[in-house]
Amino acid sequence: MKNYFFTLIILLTFNIGNGQIQEVVNDQVEHGNGLTKKQSDLIFEKVKAFPNKAQISIAIISNGKANYFGIIKENDSVLTIENYNKVFEIGSITKVFTTTILADFVVEGKVGLDDDINDFLDFTIKDNVKISFKQLATHTSGLPRLPEGLSSPSLDLTNPYKEYDEEELKLDLSKKLVMIANPGTKSEYSNLGVGLLGFVLSKIDNSTYGDLVQTKIFDRYRMGNSTTVRPNIKDRLIIGINDTGQEVSNWDMSILMGAGGILSTTEDLTKFAIAHFDDSNKVLGLTRTSFHKATDDFSTGLAWGIVKVESGATWYWHNGGTGGYTSSMIIDTETDNGVIILSNISALGKLANKVMNLCPELMKTLE
């Protein structure tokens, strides 16, 4: 799973011939959707380079109230569309949900953040390495980005995680593991780490990751279109595409579901975002606690990246990407503002950066 954690890249400006399209879209945005001209200009500037069949679904939350806006590219034209309740793969934004389950377990007293995960495993990690729940959740576990079984440069990215099962995970961790750092000493993004976290939490609960996220989060916040079971939402699923507009395979995350296996909508993610604006919510508050400071302006909570921006605001940020989708989510709990973007643009191509950059650019318009 490609990670675009907090990258801001200056992009080239693309030109298209029909300037009337932008004028029509901007008019619809300003009057029909409540967005400002600056916001609509930012959106259009990114989307006009997308291929046909591309969709982008946006939620802009201002003072706790959400405004939804959708765009589709059809017949080389950019059109508005109502897609706030359409389903996309959210990729690594899943990690925030996995650590929310961990926070729930901590608040309930089931585990402690500094507890050793080995105490909850039925196998021994190679060389008897000790790793805590907090280290998995903050990317300081010392585990590699991917397990040995998914690290081949010739790995087929069509659906790379599909065949990676529990037996292979245990084999990689107990026999083949090569640590990249001692636990707790270095921050290094790891899909393996958070995928393992989801696996361990499901073992503790004697359930599946899908059941856990359903009962602990989706049901609690009435996220009715969110799931880890793709057939449940197949009638609402937007098909992922690559940079040329060709349809691509969905990703099945198998045993590493907790690293990137959730499908959701901007409407549902907005409900989750707004829940973070409730200061009395101890579980969500714990996920936003800074546990590892990388620089003066960046630290890591439980999966959340915590960013201090030039205005002095603090943003809680996570991006996501799979073979057919790119997503980004930022919230500011001081102002009750946020931006959520879901798209069917592949994270494996060059256009994914446009989605990633649009999120902070729109966030700045709320300051």
Sort 179 into a burial class: Cβ within 10 Å, 0-12 / 13-18 / 19+: middle
CATH of the domain at 93: 3.40.710.10
Sort 81 into a burial class: Cβ within 10 Å, 0-12 / 13-18 / 19+: middle
Residue 65 in domain: no
Domains identified in the chain, total number = 1
Express as a percent the part of the chain with pLDDT over 70.
Answer: 91
Residues 66 and 59: beta-carbon distance below 8 Å = yes
Mark residue 222 as left, alpha or beta (left: phi above 0; alpha: psi -120 to 50; beta: remaining). left
Give residue-wise pLDDT tens across range 296-326.
999 999 999 999 999 999 999 999 999 999 9
Residue 64 in domain: no
| Host domain of residue 129 | 88-364
Q: What is the predicted pLDDT for the residue at 3? A: 39
Residue 213 in domain: yes
Give residue-wise pLDDT tens across range 236-292.
999 999 999 999 999 999 999 999 999 999 999 999 999 999 999 999 999 999 999
Asked if residue 124 has pLDDT above 70, the reply is yes
- Token duo for residue 283: 């579980």
Residue 118 in domain: yes
- Token duo for residue 158: 């069509």
Which of the pair, 229 or 8, is modelled with greater confidence?
Answer: 229
**Angle of CA points 18, 23, 24, to nearest 5°:** 95
Residues 1 and 321: beta-carbon distance below 8 Å = yes
Residue 78 in domain: no
Residue 144 in domain: yes
Confidence of residue 31 (pLDDT cuts 50, 70, 90): very low
Residue 69 in domain: no
Q: What is the predicted pLDDT for the residue at 29? A: 33
Residue 318: beta bridge partners? 329
Residue 50 in domain: no
Confidence of residue 152 (pLDDT cuts 50, 70, 90): confident
Confidence of residue 33 (pLDDT cuts 50, 70, 90): low
**Separation of alpha carbons 361 and 356, rounded Å:** 9
Residues 211 and 255: beta-carbon distance below 8 Å = no
The pTM of the full predicted model, rounded to 2 decimals, is 0.91
